[in-house]
Structure 1
Amino acid sequence: MTNNSTKILFMMTLLSGVIITISSNSWLGAWMGLEINLLSFIPIMYNNNNTLSAEASLKYFMIQALASSCIMFTIIVWSILKNSFPGMYENSTFNMLISPPLLMKAGGAPFHWWFPSVMEGLNWLNCLILMTIQKLAPLTLISYLLIPNLYNSTIILLSALVGSIGGYNQISMRKILTYSSINHLGWMIMAMSINTQMWIFYFKMYTLLVTTVLIIVYVFNISFINQLMHLKKETTMKFLLLSSLLSLGGLPPFLGFYPKWMIIQNITSNNQVILMLTMVMLTLLTLYYYLRITYSSFLMLISQLNWEININQKNYTTMMVTIFMSLWGLLLCKSNMNTFL
């Protein structure tokens, strides 16, 4: 992609769409930013070397166009009702009506059905964009509207539940990371109920962890979990990849546990113990299939295959800094914890 000037241009317009949505002071401007972001990502998704990319692009376009239409329809109808019957409708009703299309754009449960199939048709770089940058604009709009109530608590629990159960019996790394992303989305929405600074920090940590994992699987061309077991010569990188997966799952003392730790402390201090316990139990289910992959990869004896990729020392050095931060960043960040409490 770095040598393709057309895709670099589309990447710039994609980022500009996100900025327009975040900085807009009207719903029309936010909608325009979402459309610019969508139309910029479709050409980036398409890849001549991947036959599934055309199908993934079409699916993504249809779902995002449907969500955008629902957003515009909701805005128009709400404006008409507010002008015709002033004072009759509350803002909480509008929040409940516009949240589903925004969740559909972000890939949150129960509007997540398109997310795993689209991820299967993308390369790892596009998967990274879809799991990080493409979530930023709709999540920002959701954070503007979020009011702690039963409706939002249901969305949080559904996202955590789908992300936890959906990852079972999956052999594709893309689908495992997809359902993990859905689970993390539930935690981000919960962080929004605390303050804006909390969910932005969680999103930054999630982006760092996902980037770390995708760098390794991209370099070693890993698409399925059985390929992890064949990295016999690359024992060090195999250990770091599996440790990064555990960090993404939120296992102490890795960095992935740090934002969850802060959310747990804040939510329990607000006397929402039942919601917090449920989220922790569902996250333990997510951590289970990461642990299952780890145990299988390290304990099973598998013969060496001829198609393995050898990585030189320069590539090791390039990956080490990001991997180190994703693994042991908790020790570095512990002293700054009081800032968020």
Structure 2
Amino acid sequence: MSNNSTKILFLTTLISGIMITISSNSWLGAWMGLEINLLSFIPVMSSNENIFTTEASLKYFLVQALASSILLFFIISKTILEDMFSLINSVSSSMIMTTPLLLKGGAAPFHWWFPSVMEGLNWSNCFILMTLQKIAPLILISYSLKLSMFYTTIIVLSVVVGSIGGYNQISIRKILTYSSINHMGWMLAAMLLGENFWLMYFLIYSILTLTIISIISPFNISFINQTFLLNNDNPIMKFLLFTSLLSLGGLPPFLGFLPKWLIIQSMIINKMSFIVTIMVVLSLITLYYYLRISYSSFMILHSEPSWNIQMHSNKLMMITLTLSSVSLLGLIMCSTVIIIY
């Protein structure tokens, strides 16, 4: 999409679709918001500069249209059987209503479309797909989530697929995709504990994703081996990239550990030790492949080609440094504030 004003228009309607879904008091209104959001994102995805965007946007449209059709069918069925404005009471109706929403959000085992769509997008659209596009489905899921075998299975599968799936990847987009699936499992677990938990987790996840993409995007990096040659004359950018990745993985000194810390503590208090043990062990796998990339980049390869001379602009550099400092020092600041008060 070359016309900037058109892009602003579609991004505005995309945000308005999310707001309609969040603020609606019926399932039909929420469905309408999801449709506005979907039809706004398709033109934003499309680009004449990248031949893969057509395939990605078509895949995304078909999957989301399928999920919307299933959701509308369930809404109409529910309206026929009972009042549309009533809250979901039974576990079975909760499970039925949230299945298409899990497909929209890309949670395992409904994640099959997510990596291939991500691979065809530019970095700004990747950020929208991993963060903004998850808000509306997650909000709707949080309205009807109940602790059951179905949701426990979804949480465990999301964490397993997110950890194992990214283990053997060389594409950074796919690594971030499987990381997103892993975090989806954590957010669903956080929903079982309370609204504040998953909102805080989602906010911190979005900040860390924005930090990583703001560093990667100016260099047009797509694969791990390109990070090895990333601007060795200015090692601070490489340092910030990999500390942000480790923060996203949940390494303790960084901000990404804070929401996981609170969720682990609350799940143990609520006697969900078995699930949280699986989640923690599998999160170590994600940390392993982040550490593997970082170690290779810093310790093994030091050379830099003469053509890799693109630099961040001063404004973008300041934004990146600010976001990275939040990632690096956020946990320390939060702990200090808690101790003071």
TM-score, normalising length from structure 1?
A: 0.94
For 1:313 and 1:57, how far apart are their aligned partners in 2?
A: 30
Q: Separation in 1 of the partners of 2:265 and 2:310?
A: 44
Q: Note the alpha carbon deviations across 1:146-185, whole angstroms, 9 max, x for none.
A: 0112211111000000000000111110000000000000
Deviations 1:114-170 (A, max 9, x none): 000000000000000000000000000000000112211111000000000000111
Q: CA separation in 1, counterparts of 2:312 and 2:74? A: 54
Kept after mapping to 2: 8 A contact 1:253/1:330 = yes
CA distance in 1, matches of 2:239, 2:193: 35
- Relative distance call for 1:39 and 1:333 in structure 2 (3 A) is same
User: Cα deviations across residues 214-268 of structure 1 (Å, max 9, x unaligned)?
Assistant: 0000022211110111122231110110110000000011000000000011010
The equivalent residue for 2:22 is 22
> Aligned-pair distance for 1:310?
3.1
The question of whether the paired residues in 2 share the 8 Å contact of 1:220 and 1:309 is answered with no
CA contact (8 A) 1:2 1:8 kept: no
Match of 1:103 in 2: 102
Closer, same or farther: CA 305–195 of 1 in aligned 2, 3 Å: same
Partner Cα separation in structure 1 for residue 172 and residue 312 of structure 2:
24
Q: Secondary structure at the match of 1:168?
A: coil
Q: Deviations over 1:84-111 (max 9, x none)?
A: xxxxx96221111122110110011000
Structure 1 pair 111/313, CA: closer, same or farther in 2 (3 Å)?
closer
Kept after mapping to 1: 8 A contact 2:160/2:182: yes
Give distance in 1, aligned partners of 2:149 and 2:7. 43
For 2:193, what is the secondary structure of its paired residue? coil
Query: What is the correspondence of 1:13-162 to structure 2 with a 5 Å cutoff?
Result: 13-82=13-82, 91-162=90-161
Summarize the Cα distance change of 1:21–1:337 in structure 2 as closer, same or farther, 3 Å threshold: farther
Q: Which amino acid is the alignment partner of residue 332 of structure 1?
A: M
1:330 to 2:328 alignment:
no
1:271 aligns with 2:271: yes
Q: Distance in 2 between matches of 1:90 and 1:200?
A: 23
> Which runs of structure 2 are paired with 1:213-252 in the superposition (5 Å)?
213-231=212-230, 232-252=232-252
Asked if the contact 1:67–1:101 (Cα under 8 Å) also holds between the matched residues in 2, the reply is yes
CA deviation profile, 1:31-82 (whole Å, cap 9, x unmatched): 0000000000000000110000011000000000000000011111233234
Distance (Å, rounded) in 1 between the aligned partners of 2:277 and 2:157: 14
Kindly report which structure 2 residues correspond to 1:150-229, keeping only aligned pairs within 5 A, or say none.
150-229=149-228
Change in 2 beyond 3 A, CA 1:313/1:12 = closer
State how far apart, in whole Å, the 2-side matches of 1:18 and 1:336 are: 33
Aligned to 1:86: none
Q: CA deviation at 1:312?
A: 5.4
Partner Cα distance (1:64, 1:12) in 2: 20
* Distance in 1, Cα, partners of 2:50 & 2:157: 33
How far 1:336 sits from its partner (Å)? 5.2
Gaps of 5+ in 1: 84-88
Q: What is the SS of the residue equivalent to 1:311?
A: coil
- Cα RMSD of the aligned pairs, angstroms, is 1.7
Partner of 2:11: 11
Letter in 1 for 2:203: K
Q: CA separation in 2, counterparts of 1:14 and 1:164? A: 30
Give me the whole-angstrom Cα distance separating, in 1, the residues matched to 2:312 and 2:256: 28
Letter paired with 1:179: Y
C-alpha distance in 1 between matches for 2:234 and 2:58:
38
Contact preservation (8 Å) 1:240, 1:323: yes
Q: Distance in 1 between matches of 2:224 and 2:288?
A: 15
Q: Unaligned regions of 5+ residues in structure 2, if any? A: none
Deviation at 1:195, TM superposition (A): 0.8
Q: Secondary structure at the match of 1:35?
A: helix
Q: Name the amino acid aligned to 2:24.
A: S
- More deviation in 313-322 or 20-29? 313-322
Q: Structure 1: which amino acid aligns with 2:333?
A: L
CA distance in 2, matches of 1:252, 1:169: 24
Identical pairs, percent: 59
